[in-house]
Structure 1
């Protein structure tokens, strides 16, 4: 997955609309389904927890289906890109201890994966205005570049491919 610059204002606007739509859809859908089930199958004890739970579950599945169906729509481009980037970074994070150990030994693939993780994190943090941790990231990036220079490894984010993680 290549890192691309995305329009922050458009991303935030679309993400907020997706979140609001999902929240409203979940509330309306789960209430409508659970109230219909309660009307069709009343419980004399007055406990309708299971009908409410079923309403939430059915609505959640429906929303997930809709999000998946419309993930290729132009409105969702930035939102889906960020979701996929977070997924890719999470795969790297789960292997970070092994990557750092291999990186200290000069493994070029490990150094590249770490470099991609740092660059992707920087992009996400800028989109989310999470600038507090940028200083820590700059320190880690400088350490990574120092190790790469020691082992004569050139790091280019565009060279990253997720398949290199299989060896770690």
Structure 2
């Protein structure tokens, strides 16, 4: 997955709309379906937990299905890209200790994966205005740059491919 520039204003506007639509859809859908099921199949004891639960589960599945169906829509472009980037960074993060060890030994794939992780994290944190952790990231980036210089490697984040993580 290549790192691309994301229009921050468009991303923030669209992610808020998608989040609000999901929340409203979940609330209205689950309440409506639950009430319909309770009206069709009343329980003499007055306990309708199973109908309420079924309403929530069916509505949640429907919302996830709709998100997946429309993930390629132009409106969802930035939202989907950030979602996929977070998944890619999470895969790297789970292997970060092994990557750091291998990077200290000069493993080029580990160095590239770490470069991608730092560049992707920087992009996400800037989109979310999470500037508090950028200083810590700058320190890690400087350490990575020293390792790259030590092993005479030029690091480019877009050289990263998920298959580089397999040995770790």
Fold-level similarity (TM above 0.5): yes
Deviation for aligned residue 1:135: 0.2
Deviation for aligned residue 1:123: 0.1
Inter-partner Cα distance in structure 1 for 2:56 and 2:64: 12
Match of 2:45 in 1: 45
Inter-partner Cα distance in structure 2 for 1:26 and 1:109: 43
Match of 1:154 in 2: 154
Inter-partner Cα distance in structure 2 for 1:4 and 1:64: 26
Deviation for aligned residue 1:51: 0.8
Higher mean C-alpha displacement, 13-22 vs 36-45: 36-45
Match of 1:13 in 2: 13
Inter-partner Cα distance in structure 1 for 2:118 and 2:26: 35
Match of 1:29 in 2: 29
CA RMSD of aligned residues (A): 0.6
TM-score by length of 2: 0.98
Report 1:1-150 matches (<5 A): 1-150=1-150
Inter-partner Cα distance in structure 1 for 2:118 and 2:105: 19
Inter-partner Cα distance in structure 2 for 1:49 and 1:96: 43
1:76-108 superposed Cα distances (whole Å, 9 cap, x missing partner): 000000000000000000110110010010001
Gaps of 5+ in 2: none
Inter-partner Cα distance in structure 2 for 1:46 and 1:121: 51
Aligned-partner SS, 1:56: helix
Runs of 4+ more than 2 Å apart: none
Inter-partner Cα distance in structure 1 for 2:32 and 2:85: 35
Aligned-partner SS, 1:167: coil
TM-score by length of 1: 0.98
Aligned-partner SS, 1:154: coil
Higher mean C-alpha displacement, 26-35 vs 156-165: 156-165
Higher mean C-alpha displacement, 10-19 vs 47-56: 47-56
Deviation for aligned residue 1:142: 0.1
